[in-house]
Amino acid sequence: MDEFTFKTQNGTEGIEIINLSFSKIPILRSQTQINFSSRFNNKSEIWIEKSIKLIWNEKCKNNDRLYNQSKFRFEGITIDDDNQVVFNLGLTTYMELIGTNCNPFGKELVVYGTQCFNNKRSCLADPLGVGSLLLTSDGKFLFLKRAMWTGEDKGKLDRPGGHPEPDNVSTSIQSWTEEECTAPENSLRIREEVFDSVKFEIRDEVNLPLESLKDPLLLGVVRSLERLGRPSAEFLVLCSLTSKEVENLYLKSCQAEADESVDIVFLPEEKVRGLDLDQSIWHSLTDAACGAIKLYSQCYSSCPS
């Protein structure tokens, strides 16, 4: 498992990449496991909670479309003896993301976490995001221009993505005992939510039928240094539709999250694989999109079929 810092060409502080594509082969759903525990929740104190709440309330004054919801917290990745990729996950919230990773207050928490818990990330939300490089049947990758009202990366070009939702696994997940957290059937349910959420986000953002999408292939994990290491798992998803068919479905604007983007852009597979993009494109991409492209380029020497 390779982990390295990569200076992106979009003008931000850069990204950290965890490359999981052993022997240049992406990871199948069956090759992953979940280790879910409250031990992986972000640490907090009353003063931290109050500060985050103040930041959140101020943010909501300027954007009444924001809403808080529980998220899976990414603690890290390990490889077990059977070469399975194990995601260590806890719980956090979207409000904590806005108040820590996405706010200067997070830098104070890095210092506090290092001093009090010997872990600079211990007090950061670090919610696990998911994103997909969607490849059409005629060899083009899809990117969306984000709407200006969104909470992050306004106006940037991004790959379809979002978050796996703990409430989709169980509405009582926050009160699970440690025994329930580690139960094999619950670990499996969380893994299914992580992988399925990739396809659901494509359906809800682009208006593509689920049956047109192959099962997501895990490329690796990207951390945005601009947001204090905010993590996202990056996937490759092959689509049976052409770019024109995809565009026509997108332009119907009847998808659940149609208002989250304002335009659709296609980039040739060979240009993405070769990192051969115009500087104007690089500058318009989000950190996560840059990371996904870098992972894809490392994984494939030719277009996947």
Question: Is the pLDDT assigned to residue 23 strictly greater than 60?
Answer: no
Q: What is the pLDDT of residue 102?
A: 94
Report yes or no: 21 and 299 within 8 Å, Cβ to Cβ: yes
Percent of the chain with pLDDT over 70: 94
Does residue 304 sit within a domain? no
User: What's the mean pLDDT in 13-37?
Assistant: 83
Question: Is the pLDDT assigned to residue 10 strictly greater than 80?
Answer: no
Which residue do the tokens 């870098």 mark? Answer: 294
pLDDT (tens digit, 9 = 90+) per residue, 99-126? 999 999 999 999 999 999 999 999 999 9
User: What's the mean pLDDT in 2-13?
Assistant: 66
User: What's the mean pLDDT in 37-51?
Assistant: 97
Does residue 167 sit within a domain? yes
pLDDT (tens digit, 9 = 90+) per residue, 152-184? 788 999 999 999 999 999 999 999 999 999 999
Does residue 305 sit within a domain? no
**Weakest-pLDDT range from 8-17, 50-59, 107-116, 117-126:** 8-17
CA distance 223 to 116: 23
Number of domains in the chain: 1
Q: What is the pLDDT of residue 7?
A: 63
Does residue 216 sit within a domain? yes
Does residue 8 sit within a domain? yes
From residue 271, give the alpha-carbon distance in Å to each of 153, 164, 220, 231, 268. 23, 30, 20, 25, 5
Read off φ and ψ for residue 107, nearest 5 degrees.
-65, -35
User: What's the mean pLDDT in 190-208?
Assistant: 98
3-state secondary structure of 185: helix
Q: What is the pLDDT of residue 90?
A: 98
Q: What is the pLDDT of residue 298?
A: 87
Report the relative pairing of strands 157-158 and 140-146 from DSSP bridges: antiparallel
Q: What is the pLDDT of residue 271?
A: 96
User: Domain containing 206 — which CATH number?
Assistant: 3.90.79.10
Does residue 49 sit within a domain? yes
Tokens of 239: 């689509």
Cβ of 148: how many Cβ atoms within 10 Å? 8
Does residue 126 sit within a domain? yes
Does residue 270 sit within a domain? yes
Question: Is the pLDDT assigned to residue 245 strictly greater than 70?
Answer: yes
Residue 57 sits at the vertex; the CA angle it makes with 261 and 70, to the nearest 5 degrees, is: 65
Read off φ and ψ for residue 112, nearest 5 degrees.
-65, -45
Question: Is the pLDDT assigned to residue 1 strictly greater than 90?
Answer: no
Residue 163 lies in domain: 2-299
Q: What is the pLDDT of residue 39?
A: 97
DSSP state of 239: B
CA distance 169 to 247: 32
Determine the residue type at 299. C
Question: Is the pLDDT assigned to residue 193 strictly greater than 70?
Answer: yes
User: What's the mean pLDDT in 201-223?
Assistant: 97
pLDDT (tens digit, 9 = 90+) per residue, 252-303? 999 999 999 999 999 999 999 999 999 999 999 999 999 999 999 988 876 7
User: Strands, DSSP E only, in 94-216?
Assistant: 129-135, 140-146, 157-158, 161-162
